[in-house]
Copies of this chain bind each other. A is one copy, B any other.
């Protein structure tokens, strides 16, 4: 099962919680057991799993990323000026695999799934692919 979500971002660097729409995609399939691949078809965005309870966690995350990979570096050559966004996309990663149990995403009590925007604002696509193992 394959589906695409459209996600609007509002900042240059921003984490958007996509846990709820991913759950809706899953429920619509009726699949109760298997794995879900969540994939960003962009070179300046990524997918991750982290806390979605206290928004200060993501604040601190973005703050630290701004020192790990600053937006500007005079030695960068890429003409679009967003090399930092490309670097962050690969450090976090374009795809994440989640487990499906009892018709729901198997997530820890504090976990949510995020689209990580590193060169917004834009409208991004998140691809979702589910493999069921019900019949196996």
Contacts and interface: CB of A to CB of B under 8 A. Distances in A.
A125 B101 CA distance: 15
Contact of A56 (B37, B41, B77, B127): B77
A66 to B, nearest CB: 10
17 contacts: A2-B33, A2-B99, A34-B131, A37-B97, A39-B99, A43-B57, A43-B111, A49-B90, A59-B77, A59-B78, A60-B73, A60-B83, A64-B84, A93-B96, A94-B96, A94-B111, A131-B131
Interface in A89-136: 89-99, 101, 106-108, 110-111, 125, 127, 129, 131-133, 135-136
Oligomeric state, in copies = 3
